[in-house]
Structure 1
């Protein structure tokens, strides 16, 4: 257990409660925290928004990528889809599956988390048959053999836990059934559809190991199980089964929305929820320096209330070392005319190790994104 140096101090005008009851003329609160949102933290109160810069140089900057412009129409396998972001512990892909896979996939480098952004189809794997559709998370345990038969084109976000496994978060005092009850998790079935796809034709299995591909050929379909028992399986969770934790008097940190965890990163899901009703509570994400993690947000659907000019199918990257938070217009609207309900669905990756941006991601980057944080003061000084 970490034994942080903790020396609680106070200076000047400050709020006794984080994210609420701000002192007059110092409404721009910034959290400087360690170990994500689980370590010690200090809350500073500023006269100006901490993201109202007027000029930026260098590679460390807020970045946005439009996955709708990604050219991967010829990716017949998930391993053909370009890696957009990566480090030693995860790989971040976006795959367009246009037709039935004629080759099985098997990732020997780690568990895969698949999020269905659009479309629907049938998943066949070692453990049976599973119907999947937009909004589904699917965890594919390491070295699972699988293939997809889409009803139409499917768009899938895929996050590999390299050399690791996905687990559920510790829900602490909330209890085992909070956020989502494990009873809503779905596993594949050995049903008629699965048995019907078993044949004696030649099938190939594409195996990824150390980011290199090997192909094994069988004179029959190796998805030929007739039954199984145990506690390792493909697992499905739809975001609609997530019941978010919330407080009417306090804006909760992103960690309260954790869905899956791996040793060096977490996956959080932001789903529709009521807005904080206390008049003195912050109603948008707070400015923060999450200086131990890179934050990646995939925007699935809805009205992304804390961002301007962000559309469905886009991804933002806010690396460690810089302050991030709501866009200026979103912050102003939240103070003058706050919403009562947030209607958005987004998938967040918080990575403990710095993520590398691939050339494929740079090709679809909105280079002007860093300037979108400039407020009126910054505009006057340009």
Structure 2
């Protein structure tokens, strides 16, 4: 059982009526799901003057420019549980694909097209999450240029426990789309190639027929689609909900959260209306900015990504405190990945990151 204690100057309710002249930090465990304390500083914990070493906030400005190779999934961050990729596709897949290493979650940042899978077809558009279970054979068909934020997971993408909020919280189950059985559209080729990813290597299997030849299916393993625009956020006018309240998918050792447009907290109750300072000591945090006015971050545009590793503070930029009182709601949409174990950046990430991002709080 938790044993709450307190000392000195503090607020009656976390994130509400913070004492004048003080700055609240949330010191939490297990990525906002565990035990937590609030610390009330005389100075913002991000008001550093220098950082020596690798541990610092990191950022990729919009990632889909010419520096990103087209028609290729570029890994950016990874650990033993998850690999985060981005891609800019201008052409449909040349071959069919099957991932024997990971379950896959596609988030469509921009573009339209369809996934043809062994279970049937799923069209996609901006804002769609597409889950592809490990071992599913599929092919991606592009109608127009498609920009993708893709997560590969060693475990399945599962829905969070809604607890006392009930089964209709976050989104109604009926908004999830599943494929209707349909064979592949390409039926006039001499051969069909399936690229299978196993232990990071590709094996190519050739067939004289379209491998998407299923005439039926049943069970509980299948691709699905959920739009970020169908998510109904948990919110309170009197309390700033922590990121854990916005969880969309739960995997082993990481979660995926969706931040969507919502009314802001009511300032007459003294509620903190911007994200609180925190160091999220047990989890690394990755935030992909999809759409909107990201008022808590300065000079961040759609398509950018920030990486805040365990052990160093982050929180709203100075401009957020000045602009938030003029706003009645947030129109931002973003995807967050919180990982239990540290993420390593790829060489591509390091070569293309904004080197001075950590200075943006100064």
Name the TM-score, length of structure 1 as normaliser: 0.91
Match of 1:88 among 67, 80, 91: 80
CA distance in 1 between partners of 2:168 and 2:206 (Å): 43
The number of aligned residues is 360
Q: Identify if the C-alpha distance between structure 1 residues 70 and 366 changes in structure 2 by more than 3 Å, giving closer, same or farther.
A: farther
Structure 1 match to 2:149? 157
How far apart are residue 74 of structure 1 and its match?
Answer: 4.2
CA distance in 1 between partners of 2:337 and 2:68 (Å): 22
Match of 1:212 among 201, 216, 231: 201
Contact 2:118/2:137 (8 A) holds in 1: yes
Match of 1:251 among 222, 240, 244: 240
Match of 1:271 among 257, 260, 276: 260
Match of 2:159 among 165, 168, 174: 168
Match of 1:347 among 335, 343, 349: 335
Deviations 1:340-373 (A, max 9, x none): 0100000000000100000111122011110001
Matches within 5 A, 1:91-106: 91-106=83-98
When structure 1 is superposed on structure 2, of 210-219 and 198-207 the one drifting more is 198-207
Match of 1:9 among 5, 12, 23: 5
1:112 matched to 2:104? The reply is yes
CA distance in 1 between partners of 2:18 and 2:254 (Å): 32
Match of 2:344 among 334, 346, 356: 356
1:230 matched to 2:222? The reply is no
How far apart are residue 195 of structure 1 and its match?
Answer: 5.4
1:221 matched to 2:216? The reply is no
Match of 2:359 among 371, 377, 380: 371
CA distance in 1 between partners of 2:263 and 2:164 (Å): 22
How far apart are residue 181 of structure 1 and its match?
Answer: 1.2
* Structure 2: unaligned runs, 5 residues or longer: none
Contact 1:185/1:237 (8 A) holds in 2: yes
Q: Identify if the C-alpha distance between structure 1 residues 116 and 207 changes in structure 2 by more than 3 Å, giving closer, same or farther.
A: same
CA distance in 2 between partners of 1:52 and 1:356 (Å): 26
CA distance in 2 between partners of 1:297 and 1:173 (Å): 28
Q: Identify if the C-alpha distance between structure 1 residues 289 and 73 changes in structure 2 by more than 3 Å, giving closer, same or farther.
A: closer
Structure 2 match to 1:379? none
Contact 1:198/1:224 (8 A) holds in 2: no
* Structure 1: unaligned runs, 5 residues or longer: 375-382
1:43 matched to 2:38? The reply is yes
Contact 1:108/1:143 (8 A) holds in 2: yes
How far apart are residue 118 of structure 1 and its match?
Answer: 0.5
How far apart are residue 102 of structure 1 and its match?
Answer: 2.1
When structure 1 is superposed on structure 2, of 294-303 and 324-333 the one drifting more is 324-333
Contact 1:201/1:221 (8 A) holds in 2: no
Supply the RMSD in Å over aligned alpha carbons.
Answer: 1.4
CA distance in 1 between partners of 2:321 and 2:103 (Å): 38
